[in-house]
Structure 1
Amino acid sequence: TTPTLGSISSPGDVGITPGWAGTDPTEAELDALAAEIQAEVDALLAANPTMDKVIMLGHMQQIGIEFGLAERLTDVDVIVAGGSNIRLFDDNDRARDGDSDQGQYPAFIDNAGGTTTAVVNTDGSYKYVGRLVIEFDANGNIIPESYDADVSGAYATDDQGVADLNAGALIDPEIQAIADAIQDQILATEGNVFGISEVFLNGNRSGSGTGEDPDGVRTQETNLGNLTADANLDYANEMFGDGDDIWVSVKNGGGIRASIGQTVVPAGGTEPVRVVNEQILDSDGTVVKPTGGISQNDIQTTLAFNNDLVVGQLTATELVAVLEHGVAALPGVAGQFIQVAGVEFSFDPDAPSGARIDDAAFVDPDTGEIRAVLVDDGVIVNPDQEYGVVTLGFLAAPRFDDDGSFIGGGDGYPFPEDFDFAPLEQEGVQTGDATFADDGTEQDALAEYLLDNHNTAATAFSEVDTGPEDDMRIQNLAFHDGAALDSAVDDFIFA
């Protein structure tokens, strides 16, 4: 597993070695991890003298790390990568509608022993089944030329994938019965509808990285990130604040696990398009979920961790450090990437990490007017002024390394060690209009917010997702000129 486990998850007292300073390892940190793995490989082979084939299962979150390990290791023949959701395809694999090809399946990499290692990966959520059939020579080394794209690769698990294999008659009746029972439960949760959207809500992890590509909840602002951050801000003020005591909502893109909507090829079309959820009918033809409906199932899927919410006060300096961390991993794809409400900021991704934010301002969520300026041309305004913040307990809770040194919150977020936050979660308490999740959690916040603001066709959520060249809350200056925000900040200061 990844050495970043302590920051991206909550493993308790599990020991982790080697230690990494962040989610994007240095060459030395990769060397240290490879040394740990190599020691285990060597011990395995020494204990089993007739063994000459080694397969490693990795969950490094970034496939570039598995590629780097393949170069450094000896006697590892195959690495099955994981956690990055990077779609690797061979030359005749078919991507599901709306999915892009992100690399070659498998990646053949020259390793430290002078042989070849095959690295394979497929997308998550059971969208594909990866298959690798490969031959070995007499010394147990893979023969890359034996790879056959007609046999191996990433197989799409949609209906067309079954038809392409002529496998309809092979469906197991016992498995189908289980699937049908699950479908009954899904219909029950799909029928518990809280809101309506007239746009596709984008929770895709990453995209092409171009200015017009909207994909990348771990690389840019998205409309789904905005919606859930807005919900948390509104919820915190209703539960804890005095109307508007909490000005800012901060969450990590890694906590958003799926989009809300569907990707289809319309009748008569040839290209996939992203649309809202389709209408769902039960066996009697009764509408269970309207077109564009956002259900309990959608909320539980996209916010699968159901993080607890906490509120507290941060100084301007502390808050800027949090925002800086949220964009520090770029150009990498990392779960720490930030999603926000109540604040707009611009940043230069080419500047050093920790010194990227150019302008930042607090914005009234109802009027869009600036409340106060946080950063002006890279300079923090009123550094000691405190502001109310709602965030996730996962990000705020302090973590310590093996020697007891403070290392920040979840995903490495630099919330102060003495951050005096108040938890909103009430375990086992489910009140209000939405009662499927505990009060004070993200799922409950989104459900209640949708009911209050977007529960009819007339009030449907309508914010179309855009690429970074048009994003407004998180303005990447590699794509966006940031001029409007810069001017608004200057006007506010000199008004």
Structure 2
Amino acid sequence: MTQHPRPRRLAAVTAIAALAVAGPLATPGSAAPAAGHGGPAFTLTILHNNDGESKLLSAPGQPDYGGVARFATLVGKLRAQATTGRPGRGQAARRGAITLSSGDNFLAGPEFSASLRKGVPFYDALALKAVGYDAMAIGNHEFDFGPDILADFIGSFGAAPPPFVSANLDMSDEARLNALVKKGTIVSSVTVRERGERIGVVGATTPALAALSSPRRVKVLQDVAGLVQAQVDRLSRRGVDKIVLISHLQGLTEDRALVPMLRNVDVVIAGGGDELMASDTTPLVPGDVITTDPATGERLRYPMYARDRAGVDVPVVTTAGDYKYVGRLVVNFDRRGKVVGVDRGSGPVRVSGVAPDAVAPDRRVQRTVVEPVSQFVDDMAANVLGESAVPLEGRRDPGVRTKETNLGNLMADSLLAAGRKNAAAYGVTPPQVALQNGGGIRNNSLIPAGPVTELNTFQIAAFSNFVSVVPDVPRAQFKEILENAVSRMPVADGRFAQVAGFRFTYDPAGTAQVVDDAGTVLTPGTRVRSVTLDDGTVIVANGQVVPGAGLSVATNDFSARGGDQWPFRGLPFTTVGLTYQQALADYITGDLGGRITAAAYPEAGSGRITTP
């Protein structure tokens, strides 16, 4: 089922049942597992990445680095180095290599839009097929366009796709994905045979999937630790003694919390956190810095160790995303399948197009993926929708996930305008206010004053979210939604709201709201102090809801369904016929006449969101 031309047999374990991340943060082990079983009998090189997220052309802002065509070349080069020539010092005579992804294999944005416009086979899948993965975890972004687009993505690999691995997702109520389960393409775990050795691979997906994406009828089972262990035990009973967990739990913190609940997992390849682990001498993409470990305050080294339930130190690794690095973990095993050490040559290898470590793009990937996607993106960049007199702030922190910004205001205004224009046609009450989740503003950049293009609008509003109107939100519930929006402050979080049609004040020293994924308020928040509509109607005064009629709210369908844990709690809503990208483009060209002025959208914001 792999795509690179070495014979390999994969045996799938397809039971998908229940799994959960719980427990305290594990303390990193202080040392690698020590040799003590007569030296290594097998050396396995694990080439890995995560969070490629459709950055097919290059690393953001770094045209000489990244790019999936260069990435494919580098993976092939490292695979050959791992399995040919003389073994490195301390390595076994018998060596093998496997290639794994820890999820978020595509993402909404200009480059993935080229695939959606083209149709199956998607460009991302064509590139990843050329890379040749042995297994791929399923991340949260795989569901951003819903289960059917994920099925199209997997189908784009053709007749022999790699296994897509997650032990805590139940696909039985999604017909197309369930068909892939029955075919053995979506599995809980898989056995890869490499150079006569069997390597088990178990997958896990964040239990917060429903709040982060749009899995529709996919059941997200919460007992992650239990189900991962069940798959590990099943592999062990079959005599598989080398087991790798590929997870997309949203970051190393979650993986370190999981490892102490497991046993007989030899390696963890994490995804979702975009952390960069490296030594001080590792060549990095310009501008990148090694991530600080929140548990120790020190730089994250590759690998780190977490102690499992049996007291064994397990290597845990990840890479920064965007195809900027290939992770290379070289693990030595003894004859019983126990890890006896990690080779010093392990670490991230940057994907570079310049000396001294330049690699040429893979010609086939360049021709069939990079060139057509680049042409699509260039065409969007040439379509100017308007001019902005001011820079537009779309960075995340500080920015759209922590405070009011002028780009956030522009986005919220476009939702409000679209909701009002289309309300009558869809038989819904025109909205009085609008809410745009900060996590849905995706460009993560300061757009300079000057031309605003169609490409910019796709970079900003990258998802397939549709403008929606929730026509009757009780005032108390509207306050709860705002409490949730500011509940993580001062930490940057996608739930932070950009707003239109009203102003509000919140006190970050107040009690932060706590909700569950169903939107049930477990701890009421006391941060929101005042809410006043643009027409002067007071909704909240001195932290108390003023009795009165409910509000009609424009937002996007992800948020209306309770995404980011916004507590709409199943209130009925109506989509009004256009995506939020289309709403933004229409607002710029129509309502604003192609002119974004400093008076309407000052750089410092308009005072819509304030603190005491």
Correspondences of 1:37-56 after superposition (within 5 Å): 37-47=228-238, 49=239, 51-56=240-245
- Pairing partner for 1:346 from 506, 531, 553: 506
Q: Deviations over 1:10-62 (max 9, x none)?
A: 323323322xxxxxxxxxxxxx4212211111111212x1x322221111224
Distance in 2 between residues matched to 1:338 and 1:255, nearest whole Å: 10
Q: Which residue is 1:448 aligned to?
A: 586
Q: Which residue is 1:237 aligned to?
A: 420
Matched, 1:112 2:309: yes
Amino acid in the other structure paired with 2:265:
V
Q: Deviations over 1:38-90 (max 9, x none)?
A: 1111111212x1x3222211112243212211232212222222223334443
Shift of 1:232: 1.0
Distance 1:166 1:122, change over 3 A: closer
Matched, 1:177 2:367: yes
Q: Which residue is 2:542 aligned to?
A: 377
- Pairing partner for 1:395 from 537, 548, 559: 559
> Structure 2: which 5+ residue stretches go unaligned?
1-204, 293-299, 514-523
Distance in 2 between residues matched to 1:376 and 1:255, nearest whole Å: 29
Distance in 1 between residues matched to 2:383 and 2:600, nearest whole Å: 18
Q: Deviations over 1:367-425 (max 9, x none)?
A: xxx7233323322222x43222101122224xxxxxxxxxxx333322143x3433211
Fraction of identical pairs, as percent: 31
Asked if the contact 2:436–2:498 (Cα under 8 Å) also holds between the matched residues in 1, the reply is yes
Range moving further from structure 2, 352-361 or 95-104: 95-104
Matched, 1:362 2:535: no
Matched, 1:152 2:363: no
Distance in 2 between residues matched to 1:199 and 1:97, nearest whole Å: 28
Q: Deviations over 1:127-176 (max 9, x none)?
A: 4433333434555444566344xx52262x4xxx32244325x3333333
Distance 1:75 1:238, change over 3 A: same
Asked if the contact 2:533–2:539 (Cα under 8 Å) also holds between the matched residues in 1, the reply is no
Correspondences of 1:165-314 after superposition (within 5 Å): 165-168=356-359, 170-178=360-368, 179-197=370-388, 201-205=392-396, 207=397, 214-215=398-399, 217-240=400-423, 246-260=431-445, 276=448, 292-311=450-469, 312-314=471-473
> Structure 1: which 5+ residue stretches go unaligned?
19-31, 208-213, 262-274, 277-290, 365-369, 398-408, 426-439, 476-481, 484-495
Shift of 1:221: 4.0
Asked if the contact 2:409–2:601 (Cα under 8 Å) also holds between the matched residues in 1, the reply is no
- Pairing partner for 1:322 from 464, 473, 481: 481
Give the TM-score normalised by the residue count of structure 1. Answer: 0.68
Q: 3-state SS of the aligned residue for 1:424?
A: strand
Asked if the contact 1:55–1:78 (Cα under 8 Å) also holds between the matched residues in 2, the reply is yes
Distance 1:92 1:357, change over 3 A: same
Distance 1:123 1:241, change over 3 A: farther
Asked if the contact 1:322–1:414 (Cα under 8 Å) also holds between the matched residues in 2, the reply is yes
Distance in 1 between residues matched to 2:472 and 2:255, nearest whole Å: 40
Asked if the contact 1:190–1:296 (Cα under 8 Å) also holds between the matched residues in 2, the reply is yes
Amino acid in the other structure paired with 1:53:
K
Give the TM-score normalised by the residue count of structure 2. Answer: 0.56
Matched, 1:9 2:213: yes
Matched, 1:91 2:280: yes
Amino acid in the other structure paired with 1:232:
L
Q: Deviations over 1:184-239 (max 9, x none)?
A: 2211111122133465544445x4xxxxxx25x44444443332112212222233
Asked if the contact 1:201–1:259 (Cα under 8 Å) also holds between the matched residues in 2, the reply is no
Distance in 1 between residues matched to 2:354 and 2:340, nearest whole Å: 31
Q: 3-state SS of the aligned residue for 1:234?
A: helix
Q: 3-state SS of the aligned residue for 1:162?
A: coil
Distance 1:331 1:457, change over 3 A: closer
Asked if the contact 1:197–1:460 (Cα under 8 Å) also holds between the matched residues in 2, the reply is no
Distance in 1 between residues matched to 2:463 and 2:492, nearest whole Å: 19
Distance 1:460 1:122, change over 3 A: farther
Distance 1:77 1:339, change over 3 A: farther
Distance in 2 between residues matched to 1:40 and 1:147, nearest whole Å: 30
Distance in 2 between residues matched to 1:54 and 1:465, nearest whole Å: 52
Matched, 1:424 2:424: no
Distance in 2 between residues matched to 1:385 and 1:325, nearest whole Å: 21
Matched, 1:121 2:318: yes
Distance in 1 between residues matched to 2:278 and 2:607, nearest whole Å: 34
Asked if the contact 2:511–2:526 (Cα under 8 Å) also holds between the matched residues in 1, the reply is yes
Distance 1:166 1:11, change over 3 A: closer
Q: 3-state SS of the aligned residue for 2:499?
A: strand
Amino acid in the other structure paired with 1:359:
R
Distance in 1 between residues matched to 2:288 and 2:530, nearest whole Å: 34
Distance in 2 between residues matched to 1:235 and 1:323, nearest whole Å: 22
Distance 1:420 1:6, change over 3 A: closer
Distance in 2 between residues matched to 1:36 and 1:316, nearest whole Å: 41
Amino acid in the other structure paired with 1:414:
P
Amino acid in the other structure paired with 2:433:
V
Amino acid in the other structure paired with 2:216:
G
Asked if the contact 1:134–1:142 (Cα under 8 Å) also holds between the matched residues in 2, the reply is yes
Amino acid in the other structure paired with 1:305:
F
The alignment covers a number of residue pairs equal to 383
Distance 1:227 1:458, change over 3 A: closer
Distance in 2 between residues matched to 1:126 and 1:115, nearest whole Å: 31
Q: 3-state SS of the aligned residue for 2:214?
A: coil
Q: Deviations over 1:455-481 (max 9, x none)?
A: 358779864369xxxx94444xxxxxx
Shift of 1:443: 0.8
Amino acid in the other structure paired with 2:544:
V
Amino acid in the other structure paired with 1:355:
G
Shift of 1:114: 1.5
